[in-house]
Structure 1
């Protein structure tokens, strides 16, 4: 099921890992990578439930695009424990133009495969997805 615009398929593992994150909370985050040669999106890294947000951001390459999903736990002003699943399109300014284009053209279709995303974030540098941004978007 390749996307006509970019020709990228979504590896089944992407959907399986996302379901585990969403339903069982097996992971804190998942980093996805487009394998151009195989023309598909694959799972590059998963984070343990105990991993910090810093561990997540450190797992994103400084000069390459990635998609990522992060399960953010927080406490509301009413003192309720909640969680939001963030989809982050990481596209640093220093990454290759071709890579940015492939990730941009594949994003919507890939995101549709992951049913249950609550907040989407586009980030070109770490400040655009720091913890304050995540907190403010979660509410």
Structure 2
């Protein structure tokens, strides 16, 4: 993890797959969500899981580990009261209470840099358990 912090200062700590997957989600709408993790060996932020366009927010929540930190982005599509279709991208910093303290610190340190790499995020949630990232919170924030 120390390597991840050194690499972050040089801007070489996010894989190209992370960037391209995010752009596919943002512009082509082929992914509903992406889960990212920090690889223990390389220290790079990598893609852990990609949810297809037909998957839901509940699928994303179910894919997050109960004892490991992750980052996730979710593309929330909705219709406004004026009957306009809209989309908002949420960034979720997942740090469950069962994860190691050192891991939480590293994920917290790299979070801001990842957000800057993934341009176009509208809202951020930080969660330590599923209730802090419920679908109702997504709906309330987006509207």
Distance across 2 between alignment mates of 1:135 and 1:2 = 36
CA distance in 2, matches of 1:78, 1:123: 31
**TM-score for both structures, normalised by structure 1:** 0.94
Shift of 1:120: 0.9
Q: Which runs of 4+ in 1 moved over 6 A?
A: none
Alpha-carbon shift at residue 54 of structure 1 (Å): 1.1
Question: How many correspondences in the alignment?
Answer: 138
Residues 76 and 82, structure 1, Cα contact 8 Å, conserved in 2: yes
CA distance in 2, matches of 1:79, 1:120: 25
Match of 2:46 in 1: 42
The answer to whether 1:137 aligns with 2:118 is: no
Consecutive unaligned residues in structure 1, runs of 5 or more: none
Match of 2:119 among 105, 115, 118: 115
Aligned to 1:2: 7
RMSD: 1.7
CA distance in 2, matches of 1:53, 1:69: 10
Residues of 1 paired with 2:81 and 2:66: CA distance? 34
Structure 2 unaligned blocks of 5 or more? 1-5
What is the TM-score normalised by the length of structure 2? 0.91
**What is the rounded CA distance, in whole Å, between the counterparts of 2:88 and 2:21 in structure 1?**
16
Deviations 1:1-53 (A, max 9, x none): 8213xx97101100000000000001000000001210100000000100011
